[in-house]
Amino acid sequence: MKRSVFFQPADGWVGDLIPFEKDGEFWLFYLHEERSHPKPGTAWNLVTTKDLTQFENHGVALPHGTEDEPDFNAYTGSVTVDGDGTHHLFYTGQNPRNLGPDGAPLQLVMHATSTDGMRSWTKHPELTFGAPEGYETGDWRDPFVFYDQESGLWRMLIAARHSKGPERRRGVIAQCVSRDLMTWDYADPFWDPRRYITHECPDVFQWGDWWYMVYSEFSESFTTRYRMAKSPTGPWSVPELDSIDGRAFYASKSAARDDRRFFFGWIASKEGNADDGPWQWAGTMSVLEARQNADGTLGFGFADELVDSFWEDVPVTLPVPIPASLDVPDSYSAIVSNEELPNQFYAKAVFDIAPNTTECGLLLRSNHDGDQSYVLRLEPKRGRLVFDRWPRELTGDAQWHVSGDVPFDIALERPCHLAPGKHTLEVMVDGDTCVAVVDRQVALSARIYDCPTGRIGVFAGEGAVTVAELEIRQRTDN
């Protein structure tokens, strides 16, 4: 068992997760991604955890099929259990050689069962089915099954696309229904907004008086979002802050334990292990805990178990003591620690933000004067948290020829409420992975490759901020 903030197997990367809670333990099935040529088939692997800080890797749980079978790639699905204790695993079967009438590799819903507590699985290829008429046969994936007690039906939600309509707005969460989990009938779509390319990895659950629908938006955003309703049949409303995280955290699905709900997803790696590299599919597993607000909306942050696993203080000295006031009505000021931080740490800063302040936040892996660093920037006037870095890589011979010619790292921003007063910014860093959380409500994940070491700092720009608290902790068992 390895004590880790972000799980990743030694021989690959973590793709879509399929979490299942069993006897107080999370069984985290995931698509095991191997980046080799020729590319092997994709299997479901399994990692388990009881405390969200120690992970036991069990290797392959559901093997992929042969090169001639429809599940050469065993893609995303779900696991449920019937009244007799039999576990049912539904998954997507895909084989690049198996083309459908639309010219794309067929995607099929496939079924496996376990009668020994999910230790082994028996596949049932005879129960395989694909998309009906009116849907693209190459987009029929990610079956999610849940029981609707009101109707007495098992519902299967499927990420699909209509075969007609605007090319980039055919996405639909299709639906099948069953009374026995074995035979399925096509039904009307579960959700049909006609807005996105598709809605991957659908997930539906009830929490108190509310139902929640979660999906990963396959569009220009690549973001996992949620919707709310008082019934599993909708209508679904859009909360003000409707995303789970930013661009780097994807395909998140959830599981509950003791009236708490956790979202498991992957933080994408970047090609070439470089800050300017393109995002890749799959990466490192990350977990966020959802907290249900009084109005039913969800906030996202670190689980207490994860925070408490960082218990040893990291001594840092700053040029001025904390609490520290930064009063810069029309300028900028930064305070940087004298010491470099360890490779893995947890930091917590409390900012008391005065009205009309433009920005404040944390510098990570900074040089001595803060002019080179990763930046977690709170922007009260714009109501957002952004991840930034400076300097960006030069792409030409002029000073304005820099990569990412935007006001922050592209796609790494999160809307959040930053009214005048105190706000808490937490961050966990482990190697090249970084997750930040504001007020236990808003999360933002990122990769930090190019600067592997450095100091921590606080800053303010165009306003007044008091840094009321700053603490850094580490683990001692790594």
Task: Please give the average pLDDT of every successive group of 10 residues along the chain, which has 478 residues.
Answer: 76 97 97 93 97 95 97 98 97 96 94 97 98 97 96 97 94 97 98 93 97 90 93 95 95 96 97 92 97 98 96 94 96 97 97 98 97 96 94 64 57 92 98 97 96 97 98 84
> How crowded is the C-beta side of 184, counted as CA atoms within 13 Å?
27
pLDDT of residue 393: 66
Tokens of 461: 């720009």
Strand (E) or helix (H) holding 299: strand 298-301
**115 contact partners, CB below 8 Å, separation of at least 6:** 85, 86, 87
3-state secondary structure 228-263: EECCCCCCCECCCCCECCCCCEEEEEEEEECCEEEE
Q: What is the pLDDT of residue 89?
A: 98
Q: What is the amino acid identity at position 474?
A: Q
* Side-chain-facing half-sphere of 133: CA atoms under 13 Å: 0
Alpha helices in 125-206 (DSSP H): none
Question: How many CB atoms sit inside 10 A of residue 367's CB?
Answer: 15
The reported pLDDT for the residue numbered 2 is 43
Is the pTM above the cut of 0.85?
yes
The pLDDT assigned to 467 comes to: 98
From 182, 166, 184, select the one nearest 174 (Cα to Cα).
Answer: 184
pLDDT for residue 245: 97
Structure tokens at 124: 């049932």
